[in-house]
Amino acid sequence: PGGARRHPPLPRLQAVTAAERKALGKYVRWVGDAIGLRDWWFDIMHDEPENAGDMACCDPFYGQRQAKLWFRNDLRTLEPVQQRAVVVHELLHCHFAATQEQVRLDLLKHLGQAAYDLFLGSWRMNHEYALDATARALAKHMPDIAWPKAKP
């Protein structure tokens, strides 16, 4: 799966509430529609990303317009513009799903293992840089996530 920008592991917060998950789901759908993913289906998973250094993770289904998304429980502790950029970044992976699969699955048979490994590492890093820059640019124009008010 594609991973978002690495963040230092933070102490895990309590699980996301149902109301917070609903707000995040509505926001993911809105952003998806806004960036041209109206025909995609998104499943927001209840567990956190597998890699503790990832703020979020997106795994598009091969050959389908569907993706699983994972977000760390502490997403809400980021500044609002960072929250927006994380969501946009992960959804941008959907636009590049076919390209990612071509790189991941099709190149090895045409390159030797050493050349493939060198190319793949470099491509992933540059791909993530491009996604981050695009996500930050778009996030400035997105509304904040409408998180539910904390109960006193």
User: Is 90 exceeded by the pLDDT of residue 64?
Assistant: yes
Section 52-78 average pLDDT: 93
The edge-to-edge listing of strands for the beta sheet with 41-44 is 2-3, 56-60, 66-71, 41-44
pLDDT, one tens digit per residue, over 86-106 is 999 999 999 999 998 888 888
Q: What's the CA gap between 84 and 81, in Å, rounded?
A: 5
Count the Cβ atoms, other than its own, within 10 Å of residue 18: 9
Residue 4 contacts residue 55 (beta carbons within 8 Å) = yes
The pLDDT value recorded for residue 100 is 87
Question: Do residues 1 and 62 make contact, with C-beta atoms less than 8 angstroms apart?
Answer: no
Q: Is residue 62 scored above 60 in pLDDT?
A: yes
pLDDT tier for residue 16 given thresholds of 50, 70 and 90: confident
- How confident is the prediction for the chain on average, in pLDDT? 89
